[in-house]
Structure 1
Amino acid sequence: MTSLAGTGSVTVDGTTYMVEGDVKYKVSTKSRETKTGYDGVHGYAEKYVAGSISMRFRDAGGLTVADFNTMTDVTVVLTLANGKVVTGKGMWTTEDQEVDAMEATFDVKFEGPSVTEAISSS
């Protein structure tokens, strides 16, 4: 059996950070909305959407949480237990970071024009 989920690593511009969990990513490039009328289904409308990568980081010693708020044009790389490598290029943070001091954690969401997934060759 091979591992499918639960472990992995994250780097932002080559720096590895401790990730507590809640890792999510979206590689979608478009969203569609069904258009209906009085006489039935007419089709759909399509619009572009940003890709995203989000997670909960551990507020480790030496880490400055405020630095995440200033991140723009960064590359985020997730290496997942199932062999996938998810890469976001040209990303920026979209929300301010609030630290849960009891758990030493904070959430970060990156969005950008390109999030791709590939199967690792290792």
Structure 2
Amino acid sequence: MADNTNRLAGTANVTVDGKSYMLVGDFEYNPSKFTRQTLSGQDGVHGYSETPRPGSISGTLRDSADLTVADLNSMTNVTIVAELANGKTIIGRNMWTIEDQTAKSTDATIEVKWEGLSVTEN
């Protein structure tokens, strides 16, 4: 196989607890540990506040015969592994789904978002 050191985007593979899912697109991840907000007063900028935030992974999956919305909705302690075109591996541990998952029959897609305590990029 040819070396693709210049490839930055275009493909991604996603597994949940080792099971592969068809990823249509819109894959996103956020490994951030904190959210910061600038604190300003009438006399100037005072500093910032910092609150913890969960890591997140999201994407649009293809609604295949072996995937159910109920299965996605019941995910509460799963490991997500994504391999990206740029060579990065994204790992989310102990993840749970948030928001409602809705299947769209016109293009057989389901948007899903997971959050958890640990999302890393290697």
Query: Normalized against structure 2, the TM-score is what?
Result: 0.94
Q: Determine whether 1:88 maps to 2:92.
A: yes
What residue in structure 2 maps to residue 65 of structure 1? 69
Q: Determine whether 1:44 maps to 2:48.
A: yes
| Deviation larger for 90-99 or 61-70 | 61-70
Q: 1 CA distance for matches of 2:12 and 2:98?
A: 23
Show the 5 A alignment for 1:1-122.
2-118=6-122
Q: 1 CA distance for matches of 2:66 and 2:43?
A: 62
Q: 2 CA distance for matches of 1:89 and 1:11?
A: 12
Q: 2 CA distance for matches of 1:105 and 1:65?
A: 11
Q: Which runs of at least 4 in structure 1 moved beyond 2 Å after TM superposition?
A: none
Corresponding residue pairs, total: 118
Q: 1 CA distance for matches of 2:78 and 2:66?
A: 20
Q: 1 CA distance for matches of 2:16 and 2:30?
A: 17
2:76 maps to a residue whose letter is T
In structure 2, runs of 5+ residues without a counterpart are: none
In structure 1, runs of 5+ residues without a counterpart are: none
| Partner secondary structure for residue 68 of structure 2 | coil
What fraction of aligned residue pairs are identical, expressed as a percent?
54
Q: 1 CA distance for matches of 2:66 and 2:53?
A: 35
Q: 2 CA distance for matches of 1:27 and 1:65?
A: 25
Query: Normalized against structure 1, the TM-score is what?
Result: 0.94
Give the CA deviation at 1:22.
0.4
